[in-house]
């Protein structure tokens, strides 16, 4: 059996086209584009690349981008006052604060300060609670992207055995909730799970978000399973030249490809979907705000 590569770049390109059309329709109706504000504190190189890429894609679909780059020494109160200003700005529909934040800033307090209706990352406890209770939440972007990728191969997920490895607030937990809402039978594995290989081998759909390079081996995977690899790990790659690096996922791709029905590559799988779902959420937030009269 030849394994299918789940092409996140191709799927997200199609969705970005849909979003751009939606933006045009929104402008025609309301006379302004949806707006996304991205806030970066400090100069972490990986975060800086993500922020640049988010801002560029925001502009590409015709939305307005508000980029705020603050020094690493920024105080919590300065960041909180920027957030309350963005909360008040009518032309801003979505606010994203790039994580991680420097040690002097309490991440939880910052996430709580974002207006839940503009919380396009879906990290505010109000949105996490709405997701858990079946309400109209803004949902975290990476799990939303994983759902689109999984459905692109499997269609309806009803009755499937799904295993999510990792239980973080931003990926694993909401992932498990979305799968359960889609009627999959869901197991969450984590660092306390015994026989993690055997647990993974039960999965028709295996979603891995642990942050350990190539942890999941080929013999952990049920033959014919669909695997979504969320992990992004940068490893030294001296074979490519001095100082070179390469990206790998949380799954040993070369082993998995021999066993699976379909798998996401790293890079080019989940990563592009995360930004696309962020723009989808911004569109959704803009529509909800306009429907509730909270925009010009
Ligand atoms: P966290 O570090 O917040 O969470 C990792 C989770 O994995 C924890 O729940 C932890 O369990 C679990 N875990 C760690 N070690 C093991 C182990 N040996 N066995 C079983 N479970 C284990 O990471 P994130 O969820 O934020 O990110 C995970 C990965 O996904 C990272 O590589 C990150 O870079 C990537 N990522 C990719 C995105 C994308 O757009 N493609 C977006 C977000 C993240 P416990 O709770 O018990 O400690």
pTM: 0.97
pLDDT at 294: 61
Q: What does the pLDDT read at residue 109?
A: 98
φ, ψ for residue 284, nearest 5 deg: -65, -45
Which residues lie closer than 8 Å to 233 by C-beta, 6 or more apart? 211, 212, 213, 214, 247, 248, 249, 250
Kind of pairing between the strands at 161-165 and 94-97: unpaired
What DSSP string describes 36-87? EEEEEES--HHHHHHHHHHHHHHHHTT-EEEEEEE-TT--HHHHHHHHHHHH
Residue 272: CB within 6 Å of ligand 1?
Answer: no
pLDDT of residue 291: 87
User: Is the C-beta atom of 175 inside 6 A of ligand 1?
Assistant: no
Residue nearest to atom 39 of ligand 1 (CA): 271
End-to-end CA distance of the chain: 55
Half-sphere exposure of 6 (CA within 13 A, CB side): 29
Q: What is the pLDDT of residue 292?
A: 79
CATH class of 31-115: alpha beta
d(CA 262, CA 48): 32
Cα 168 to ligand 1 centre (Å): 6
The answer to whether domain 31-115 and domain 141-271 are alike in fold is yes
**Residue 209 Cβ contacting ligand 1 at under 6 Å:** yes
Mean pLDDT in order along the chain per 10 residues (296 residues): 94 98 98 98 92 96 98 98 98 97 97 98 97 96 98 98 98 98 98 98 98 98 98 95 96 98 98 97 97 67
Class of 141-271 per CATH? alpha beta
Ligand 1 binding pocket includes 210 (Cβ within 6 Å): yes
Question: Which atom of ligand 1 has the smallest separation from the CA of 274?
Answer: 40
**In sequence order, what are the beta bridge partners of 246?**
235
List active site positions: 54, 98, 121
Rg (CA), the chain: 20
Do the annotations mark residue 170 as ligand-binding? no
Return the DSSP state at 168. -
Task: Say if residue 27 is preceded by a cis peptide, omega within 30 of 0.
Answer: no
Is 232 part of any known ligand binding site?
A: yes
Tell me the two tokens of residue 235.
């490893």
The DSSP-derived string for 76-96 is: HHHHHHHHHHHHH-TT--EEE
- Domain map (residue ranges) of the chain: 31-115, 141-271
Q: Hey, is 156 helix, strand or coil? A: coil
Residues β-bridged to residue 38: 67, 96
Element (H, E) at 172: helix 172-181
């Amino acid at each position: 059996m030849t394994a299918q590569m789940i092409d996140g770049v191709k799927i997200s390109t199609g969705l970005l086209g849909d979003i751009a059309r939606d933006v045009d329709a929104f402008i025609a109706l309301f006379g302004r584009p949806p707006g996304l504000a991205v806030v970066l504190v400090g100069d972490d190189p990986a975060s800086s690349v993500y922020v640049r890429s988010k801002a560029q894609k925001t502009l590409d679909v015709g939305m307005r981008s508000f980029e705020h780059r603050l020094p690493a020494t920024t105080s919590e109160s300065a960041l909180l006052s920027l957030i309350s200003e963005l909360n008040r700005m009518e032309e801003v529909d979505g606010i994203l604060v790039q994580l991680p934040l420097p040690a002097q800033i309490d991440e939880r307090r910052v996430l709580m300060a974002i207006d839940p209706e503009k919380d396009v990352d879906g990290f505010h406890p109000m949105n996490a609670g709405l997701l858990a209770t079946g309400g109209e939440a803004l949902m975290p972007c990476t799990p939303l992207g994983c759902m689109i990728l999984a459905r692109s191969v499997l269609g309806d997920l009803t009755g499937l055995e799904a295993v999510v490895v990792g239980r973080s607030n931003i990926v694993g937990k909401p992932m498990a909730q979305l799968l359960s809402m889609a009627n999959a039978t869901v197991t969450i594995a984590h660092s306390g799970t015994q026989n993690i290989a055997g647990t993974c081998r039960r999965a028709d759909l295996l979603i891995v978000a642990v942050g350990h390079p190539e942890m999941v081996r080929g013999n952990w995977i049920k033959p014919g399973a669909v695997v979504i690899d969320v992990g992004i790990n940068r490893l030294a790659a001296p074979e490519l030249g001095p100082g070179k690096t390469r990206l790998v996922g949380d799954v040993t791709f070369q082993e998995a490809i021999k066993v699976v029905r379909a798998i996401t590559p790293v890079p080019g799988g989940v990563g592009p979907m995360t930004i696309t779902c962020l723009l989808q959420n911004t569109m959704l937030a803009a529509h909800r705000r306009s429907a509730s009269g909270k925009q010009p």
